[in-house]
Amino acid sequence: MSVSDELFAMQDKAYKAFMEKLVPNVDPQRIIGVRMPELRRFAKTFAKTPQAAEFMGALLHTYHEENLLHGCCIEAVRDFDACIAALDAFLPYVDNWAVCDCMSPKVLEKQPQALLRRVDRWLASGEDYTVRFAIGQLMRWFLDDRFDPVFPQKVAAVQSDEYYVNMMRAWYFATALAKQYDAVLPYLRENRLDAWTHNKTIQKAVESFRVPPERKAALRALKR
């Protein structure tokens, strides 16, 4: 049974229709319609099989869910260097936010300095979803104890006309406002971001339960 056959066996047609709206830049014919919890359960077993290595080496995939499965298999890699190699091979083929955001391998946390060097390369790649993934790594691993003021500078320096890149930039700054408020507030007060990302950051921060009401009021006053 092929991987695509396995995925079609898990198809939910109502969910397929839902996903077609969530990832409008993906051809609907490439969307099978498999819910992520079910896909992750399948990946947990599949990633341990010899077939998984063959599957991950056979890019480009046909179906959206094959890309999601590939991302889940990368998450299962337990060696840092092997995980980075798998990401470098796969990221150029990522063509939507859902696949990009499904990958957050825990092994990357084990070597933060090496990860930061790779993040810089990803940010400089010029590939939309590689850049989005890089910003996502800064948001996940480097907004708490490892935070450094240079990190939001890197995100602010990204210049893109791509909606899904700028949405991730706004998500990063909104999350940073919840975790490193004093360090990142100047980016809004001093208009260091483009107007769209600035306003989207405020919107997402105001919607967040992690930002206290008094700060939300101050942020609303900064809208451009």
pLDDT at 88: 98
pLDDT at 5: 95
Residue spans per domain, the chain: 1-110, 112-224
pTM of the model: 0.95
Burial of 190 from C-beta contacts in 10 A (0-12 / 13-18 / 19+): exposed
* Ranges of the chain with pLDDT below 70: none
pLDDT at 82: 97
Query: Which amino acid makes up residue 55?
Result: F
| Contact between residue 79 and residue 51 where contact means Cβ atoms under 8 Å apart | no
Instruction: Report the alpha-carbon distance of residue 64 to residue 70 in Å, rounded.
Output: 10
Question: Quick one: tokens of 16?
Answer: 């397929």
Q: What is the DSSP string of the chain?
A: --HHHHHHTT--HHHHHHHHHHSTTS-GGG-----HHHHHHHHHHHTTSHHHHHHHTSPSPSSHHHHHHHHHHHHT--SHHHHHHHHHHHGGG--SHHHHHH---GGGGG-HHHHHHHHHHHHTS--HHHHHHHHHHHHHHSSSTT--THHHHHHHH-----HHHHHHHHHHHHHHHHHSHHHHHHHHHTT-S-HHHHHHHHHHHHH-TTS-HHHHHHHHTT--
pLDDT at 1: 79
**Cβ neighbours for 49, distance < 8 A, ≥ 6 positions apart:** none
pLDDT at 46: 96
Q: On the CB side of 35, how many CA atoms lie within 13 Å of its CA? A: 6
